[in-house]
Amino acid sequence: MALLRLSLDNDPEGAALAARNVLAGGGVVVFPTETVYGIGVMHGHPGALERLRRLKDREGTDAKPFQLLVDSLDMARSLGAMPPPEAERLARRFWPGPLTLIIPDAGGPVGVGIRVPDSPFVRGLCRRLGRAIVASSANPAGRPPPIGPDQADVFGEGVDLLVDGGPTAGGIPSTVAICLNGRLKIARPGGIGSADLLAAWRGQCSVTSHSLLETLRGVPPVRPVSASGDFSENSPSASEIGSGENGLRHPQD
């Protein structure tokens, strides 16, 4: 079991403050989103990412990358993300919500996977930290993403805090949309339909829905996003097809 478990129903302010303090101290927190339970660390904290990698068995150069959860488009920009106008339209239409955008990154010729979840708790946590949360689903490889706190309590004392928000409202993963080189490609179907995405994109390009392997052909390598959007371990990710650098780019790198 996690070292500490707090209920959002019983003490939402206390749970939020504790989560903020644990993350700021380099700890690992399991928390509910509107889709599944996630596990995360504070972006940019020395050593925190390595803890998450060990827990999720994502060590080594070929390890699956992670995703960034932020509270707003402005926070995404502060991380070096450079969304083109079309991607901004998608963000303004569907954020907060189950849409992961892979958008250009100032760190190099690759993309960064970012989502603003429709979870006041997670967005508030990002604001309290003043940082993004490096996240994955709170499940070991091969298991389905958890939609309840007991399902998510599987990492034992490797997790410093589990925030119990009861069952999640969704369970359907976020849609993963690649917005690079003036094109929109759907890497993973999920909570946002392709027709709605195309309407928001205003018909400036075609939308295709294929596997991540197919959609990334001819597109620059992508980091850091799991193919599942909300991080299911059972779909191929960019790292599995030779995306190059699989670690998360920190602002100080």
Return the sign of the alpha-carbon dihedral for residues 14, 20, 24, 29: positive
Query: If you write DSSP's letter for every residue of 108-176 in order, what string do you get?
Result: EEEEEEEE--S-HHHHHHHHHHTS-EEEEESS-TTSPPPSSHHHH--SGGG-SEEEE--S-S--SPPEE
Write out pLDDT tens, residues 225-248.
Answer: 333 333 333 333 332 222 323 333
Q: Is the pLDDT of residue 156 over 90?
A: yes
pLDDT score for 241: 23
Q: State the fold for domain 5-241.
A: DHBP synthase (3.90.870)
- Taking alpha carbons only, the member of 46, 238, 66 closest to residue 135 is 66
Q: Where are the domains of the chain?
A: 5-241
Most confident range (mean pLDDT) of 82-86, 92-96, 111-115 is 92-96
Integer angstrom CA distances of residue 149 from 3, 85, 100, 146, 165: 14, 38, 23, 8, 7
pLDDT score for 109: 62
